[in-house]
Amino acid sequence: MGLGTSAAVVIGSFPLGESDRVVTFFSREFGRVRGVAKAARRIRSRFGGALELFTLGQLVFFDTGRSELVRIDHFDVTHPFAPLRENLETLGEAAWMVEIVARTTGERDRQPALYGLLVRALRAMEVAARPPRVAVCFGVRCLDVLGHRPRLDRCAECGRAYPFARPALGEGGVVCEACRPSVDAVPVAPATVAAFERLRGLRWEEAVASPIGRAGPELRAVLDTHLSRLIGQPTRSGRFLRDVRRLSEVSE
Amino acid sequence: MTYYPEPVARLIEALQRLPGIGPKTAQRLTFFLLKRPADEVRELADSLVAVKERIVSCSTCFNVTDQDPCRICADPARDTALLCVVEEPNDLLAMERTGEYKGRYHVLLGALSPLEGIGPDDIKVRELLQRLDAGGPTEVILATNPNVEGEATALYLARLLRPLGVRITRIARGLPVGGDLEYADQVTLSKALEGRREIV
């Protein structure tokens, strides 16, 4: 109860009543915080464009303790991340990252490592030539931070040492062909497992710049499947990305 | 709700389903209506029923209307070369209030949303393509909201409509008339700078 202040990223919002908005932040000090921004939808709102998705800023809120929703007093923009909203691909990939954060963390569950990872990934995506690569690097590290690091050195079911032929990736990690029927695992190319292993071992800057060749799209799909399992349903931004890709194929 | 006679309880419950109305407001509205003359309440009830029975969606632009096609689509004085794309019927009304626009409209009945999983198949994008394929408009004005969903929709439509050879424009973004520069946030101000134009 009382006044709270923290650096935070806007990870979602929806309209409330006539002109208010419920905004979800992922903050460094308090984790996921939801609050009401009064009159935020008015053209002359004091919040202006500060509450747009992905915006990084300094959040000041008041928690009455009587509701799950806090009262948003100020949100001073530190970095607007505007370029992320000006391209359909980067918008989709960045939306995928914030959706993962929004749906895998609990309210007021402080996760400074995940907060740092999200801000770093948004900064990288803003200047990235290949936004999906940044999303892949985020996904790989996000699993580690959330405590779901998949095992890649041996079969997660029987313990058989990797490498082996025809690997699959399941919730616990790489799975051999014999164990695959007993778990829900996706068959993948050995190059994808190698890329997964390499990306999580490299420093962030190296990982984002590292060539992973044809393994990229498969690794992206595996991460989406894996994180969707954690969430309990398919990601919504994944659907948006598929629509954008379909449009790119038609317009090219 | 057991304290109230059944019709009162039913009305309180029905009013509570309206957006922005909680139990207290629903109760207040119910007791207000109880005190009004019967004619006035009957008029309100008739209006509610009429809205549901007589209002349809225009088969051309998807605006709300009591005749199909709507008055704007049926008006021969309207410029058929201009087509303004908006998210909701309320946005159309806001555009009409300006008195500046004399073209026609297309209401999408929503906007793309990456976080809500709303895709082009969930809004009236296919119908917009069909209208443009049939010919007529030479300029499409994308007047979706200046937020993430509106921008995503505008970006998507711009890319989708480009091969059709029509002029695609986006409404300007920036400072509101009568506002103070010192209170503008950096996103709005940078958009205003981006969209600056020469004074002649």
Structure tokens at B188: 């709005």
H/E stretch holding A147 reads: none
In chain A, beta strands by DSSP E? 2-16, 20-27, 31-37, 56-63, 70-79, 168-169, 174-175, 186-187
Question: Whole-prediction pTM value?
Answer: 0.86
Determine what percent of chain A falls in helix, strand and coil, rounding each to the nearest 5. 40, 25, 35
Instruction: For residue B2, name the pLDDT band (cuts at 50, 70, 90).
Output: low
Structure tokens at A190: 């050995």
Alpha helices in B36-185 (DSSP H): 38-54, 71-74, 89-98, 125-133, 148-161
Q: What percent of chain B stands above pLDDT 90?
A: 70
Ordered by start, the domain boundaries in chain A are 2-80, 83-251
pLDDT for res B150: 94
Q: For an interface test with B, which of A22, A79, A240 has the most B Cβ atoms less than 10 Å from its Cβ?
A: A240
- Contact yes or no for A98 and B112 at CB 8 A: no
- Quick: pLDDT tens for B49-85: 999 999 999 999 999 999 989 999 999 999 999 999 9
Q: Alpha-carbon distance A47 to A76, whole Å?
A: 8
- Quick: pLDDT tens for A48-106: 888 999 999 999 999 988 888 999 999 999 999 999 998 999 999 999 999 999 999 99
Ramachandran bin of A12, using left for φ above 0, alpha for ψ from -120 to 50, beta for the remaining angles: left
Contacting residues of A for B20, CB less than 8 Å apart: 17-18
Q: Alpha-carbon distance B93 to A76, whole Å?
A: 33
Q: Would you tell me which CATH number, out of the four given (1.10.1270.20, 3.90.110.10, 1.20.1440.120, 2.160.20.10), belongs to the domain A83-251?
A: 1.20.1440.120
Structure tokens at B133: 């394929």
Mean pLDDT, residues A207-230: 86
Structure tokens at B183: 């209170």
Determine what percent of chain B falls in helix, strand and coil, rounding each to the nearest 5. 50, 15, 40
Quote the mean pLDDT of chain A.
Answer: 90
CB count in 10 Å sphere of residue A228: 15
- Contact yes or no for B152 and A43 at CB 8 A: no
> Number of residue pairs across A and B with CB atoms under 8 Å?
89
Cα dist. A2→A32, A39, A66, A107, B74 in Å?
Answer: 17, 22, 11, 17, 58
CATH superfamily of A2-80: Nucleic acid-binding proteins (2.40.50.140)
- Contact yes or no for A251 and B117 at CB 8 A: no
- Contact yes or no for B116 and A236 at CB 8 A: yes
- Contact yes or no for B119 and A95 at CB 8 A: no
Identical fold, A2-80 and A83-251: no
Is the model's pLDDT at B176 over the cut of 90?
A: no
Is the ipTM here above 0.90?
no
Instruction: For residue B1, name the pLDDT band (cuts at 50, 70, 90).
Output: low
pLDDT for res B32: 96
Contacting residues of A for B157, CB less than 8 Å apart: none
pLDDT for res B56: 92
Mean pLDDT, residues A130-154: 90
CB count in 10 Å sphere of residue B110: 16
